[in-house]
């Protein structure tokens, strides 16, 4: 699949680890409005790479919820579980350029390093075994980009994250590899998602450069948190969206994103709310913040 270079393409890429909650709705809505307001295509990609974490029916539930919210996507849904060969091909290409190495460090060892891998296995002559992870060799350099909401963001790849995993020890493909391969394959020009993924972006840019891919524009919206300051997520028991409250959620999401919806829009049907929001979308109004707390009816 290739995109005309002058065309805008965005995507929403939920992991079907549970139902959508208010936090995931924010990413979906903001990405949708940002793309539709520029006449672009909005794609849907199911990031279903970890079957053990995906309750049966969750992916279908997400599609139904998006339909209730009048967030209609273009084309067929892409399922990452159907794309394993593409990730393998990218991995083989990187290995062919001597950009990967096997790593058998234990999870405890990596955890003790505080999240930044020290590239221990890079200089060891480890031969890959069935239980080795595969890591990408990162250059010792700064990676910077201009986020459309958060401004300039920069990270030293070696000191800020260290060589990272492309294929996990259990054989599953890592999110970072799959997301980069699919953003390229789907011709994505504009990624808009939650601030929690801002610091993944330098890794994704490094991978794009290693694979000779286009770099999309990035925008990261604030993440909704509960009263304890935790990101709304399934782990923190965020409330699943209720199918009959779509209008309330959409209105509150527009408020969260500071889009200044008129009060009478609160009770309008979702299609009407979305029809108002597309031409009125203003990314400059989205707060340049990492997190914003939301009230307990959403968390």
- Cβ distance to ligand GLU smaller for residue 13 or 257: 13
- Cβ distance to ligand GLU smaller for residue 101 or 256: 256
Residue of 15, 41, 225, 299 that binds ligand GLU (CB under 6 A): 15
Tell me: does residue 14 bind ligand GLU (CB under 6 A): yes
Site string for ligand GLU, 97-136 (x = CB under 6 A): ----------------------------------------
Question: What's the closest the beta carbon of residue 216 comes to ligand GLU, in angstroms?
Answer: 10
Of residues 196-215, which lie at the interface with ligand GLU (CB under 6 A)? 197
**Which of 279, 278, 249, 280 lies closest to 266 in space, CA to CA?**
249
Of residues 257-286, which lie at the interface with ligand GLU (CB under 6 A)? none
Of residues 170-189, which lie at the interface with ligand GLU (CB under 6 A)? 179
- Cβ distance to ligand GLU smaller for residue 103 or 198: 198
Kindly determine how many residues on this chain lie close enough to bind ligand GLU according to the rule CB under 6 A: 7
Question: Distance between CA 249 and CA 154 in Å, rounded?
Answer: 34
Question: Distance between CA 34 and CA 278 in Å, rounded?
Answer: 8
Are the C-beta atoms of 88 and 56 separated by less than 8 Å?
Answer: no
- Cβ distance to ligand GLU smaller for residue 103 or 238: 238
Which span (12-20, 57-65, 133-141, 283-291) binds ligand GLU, by CB under 6 A? Answer: 12-20
Residue of 83, 193, 220, 231 that binds ligand GLU (CB under 6 A): 193
- Cβ distance to ligand GLU smaller for residue 13 or 254: 13
Tell me: does residue 13 bind ligand GLU (CB under 6 A): yes
Two structure tokens written together for 180: 């980069």
Question: What's the closest the beta carbon of residue 136 comes to ligand GLU, in angstroms?
Answer: 17
- Cβ distance to ligand GLU smaller for residue 197 or 283: 197
What is the full DSSP assignment across the chain? ----TT--EEEE----SS--BHHHHHHHHHHHHHHHTTT-EEEEEE----GGG--TTHHHHHHHHHHHTT----SPPEEGGG-HHHHHHHHHHHHHTT-EEEE---HHHHHHTTT----GGGSS-PPP-TT-EEEEPPPSSEEEEEETTTEEEEEEHHHHT-S-EEE-TTSPBPHHHHHHHHHHHTT--EEEEEGGGGGGHHHHHHHHHHHTPPPPEEEEEPEEE-TTSPBP-TTTTPPBPPGGGHHHHHHHHHHHTT----GGGGGS-HHHHHHHHHHH--GGGS---SEEE--TTT-
Of residues 34-73, which lie at the interface with ligand GLU (CB under 6 A)? 47
- Cβ distance to ligand GLU smaller for residue 14 or 187: 14
Question: What's the closest the beta carbon of residue 225 comes to ligand GLU, in angstroms?
Answer: 15
> What is the contact surface with ligand GLU in residues (CB under 6 A)?
13-15, 47, 179, 193, 197
């Amino acid at each position: 699949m290739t995109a005309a270079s002058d065309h805008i393409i965005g995507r929403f890429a939920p992991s079907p680890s549970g139902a959508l909650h208010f936090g995931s709705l924010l990413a979906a809505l903001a990405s949708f409005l940002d793309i539709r307001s520029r006449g672009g295509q909005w794609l849907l990609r199911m990031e279903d790479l970890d079957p053990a974490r995906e309750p049966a029916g969750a992916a279908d539930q997400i599609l139904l919820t998006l339909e209730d919210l009048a967030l209609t996507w273009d084309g067929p849904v892409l399922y990452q579980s159907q794309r394993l060969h593409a990730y393998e091909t990218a991995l083989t290409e990187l290995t062919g350029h001597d950009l990967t190495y096997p790593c058998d460090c234990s999870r405890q060892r990596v955890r003790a390093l505080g999240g930044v891998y020290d590239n221990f296995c890079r200089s060891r002559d480890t031969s890959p075994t069935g239980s080795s992870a595969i890591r990408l060799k990162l250059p010792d350099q700064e990676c910077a980009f201009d986020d459309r909401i958060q401004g300039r963001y920069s990270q030293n790849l070696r000191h800020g994250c260290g060589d990272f995993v492309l294929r996990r020890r259990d054989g599953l493909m890592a999110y970072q590899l799959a997301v980069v391969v699919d953003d390229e394959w789907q011709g994505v020009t504009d990624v808009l998602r939650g601030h929690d993924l801002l610091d993944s972006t330098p890794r994704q840019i490094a991978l794009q450069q290693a694979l000779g891919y286009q770099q999309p524009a990035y925008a990261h919206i604030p993440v909704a948190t509960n009263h304890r300051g935790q990101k709304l997520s399934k782990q923190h028991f965020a409330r699943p969206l209720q199918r009959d409250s779509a209008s309330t959620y959409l209105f509150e999401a527009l408020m969260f994103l500071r889009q200044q919806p008129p009060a009478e829009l609160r009770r309008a049907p979702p299609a009407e709310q979305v029809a108002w929001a597309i031409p009125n979308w203003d990314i400059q109004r989205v707060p340049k913040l990492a997190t914003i707390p939301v009230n307990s009816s959403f968390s």
